[in-house]
Amino acid sequence: MMYQRYYFEQKYVIDNELAPAKQLELMFDCAHIEYHFLSAKMKKNELCEQLAEYLQAVIRTHNLHANDMTVLSASVDLVRELSYAYAKATNEKVNCMCESHEEYLKMEGDELRIKDARKFMKQNFWQNTGSVSFSSIHSFKGLESPATMLILGDGELVAGEGEAESSIKLFPSPQELIYVGLTRTRNYLFVVNVGDVRYDAFFRSDAVRKYSATVVTAFPGSYLE
């Protein structure tokens, strides 16, 4: 895969027998890739609301069933708040592999209760619920989805005026973890990069752009290729 060659060639033995194009064909049944770069200086609720709008647009544009879509991020906090924003915007149920927004507010500060809640949700997570799934990349290892929205990030999303005081920290993810996130999908891959410039060059490279779609989305001021 192109990502393997770009990041891991100096660390691991890469299978060079397959050309990048053929590798992508084998990875996806019918590849559709979108990539967007957003500033990490956005307010917490502003980002979640825009991501929720984009998620709705993606499902509508590609005629996807909610059950086919999974949202992944290395940040559990972002997964939780985005699932809340999406449920609020659509009035639909969501399938989340962590505590809900409401549950978190009741447990905030009690790390043991939060840890136990996340363990319970992970053990009782089922994909085919008819709803969009939201999960951390770590928790989704070994699973697959027809369509995946992968959110990368680096920075802190602070609360806006009138919002809860807590912020969302987006930590730079290891290359191996991003690879796990990229390989969870079968057909559609939507990558949203919130301020992590380390991966921007790869997703803007000619090799990736060859397979990326030119799109118009709900992100005002975003850098689209």
Q: How many residues does the chain have?
A: 225
Which pairs count as long-range contacts for 213-222, CB under 8 Å and 24+ apart, including other chains? 213/32, 213/33, 213/34, 215/34, 217/34, 217/36, 217/54, 217/57, 218/50, 218/53, 218/54, 218/57, 219/36, 219/38, 219/50, 219/54, 220/50, 221/39, 222/36, 222/37, 222/38
Residue linked to tokens 């997570």: 125
Worst-scoring range by mean pLDDT, 73-82, 91-100, 126-135, 155-164?
A: 155-164
Q: How confident is the model at residue 22 (pLDDT cuts 50, 70, 90)?
A: very low
Residue range 61-84: average pLDDT?
94
214 pLDDT higher than 70: no
**What is the three-class DSSP state of 145?**
strand
Residue linked to tokens 């992100």: 219
Q: How confident is the model at residue 31 (pLDDT cuts 50, 70, 90)?
A: low
Predicted pLDDT of residue 78: 94
Whole-number Å distance between alpha carbons of 141 and 224: 29
**What is the three-class DSSP state of 221?**
coil
Worst-scoring range by mean pLDDT, 14-18, 92-96, 158-162?
A: 14-18
Whole-number Å distance between alpha carbons of 23 and 34: 18
- Give the Cβ contact number of residue 68 at 10 Å: 20
Predicted pLDDT of residue 16: 47
Predicted pLDDT of residue 1: 57
Residue range 53-77: average pLDDT?
93
Residue linked to tokens 């939780």: 80
**pTM, to two decimals:** 0.81
Predicted pLDDT of residue 108: 81
Residue range 66-75: average pLDDT?
95
> Residue 68: which residues within 8 A CB-CB, separation 6 or more?
145, 146, 147
Between these two residues, 31 and 88, which has the higher pLDDT value? 88
Residue linked to tokens 């085919």: 128
What's the pLDDT tens digit per position in 111-168? 899 899 889 988 888 888 999 999 999 999 889 999 999 999 888 888 766 665 667 8
Torsion-angle region of residue 130: left (phi > 0), alpha (psi -120 to 50) or beta? left
| Residue 161, both tokens | 């005026």
Q: How confident is the model at residue 3 (pLDDT cuts 50, 70, 90)?
A: low
Whole-number Å distance between alpha carbons of 151 and 225: 17
Q: Give the strand order in the sheet containing 133-136.
A: 95-96, 133-136, 69-73, 145-153, 185-194, 32-38, 223-224
Name the average pLDDT for the chain. Answer: 80
Q: How does DSSP classify residue 183?
A: T
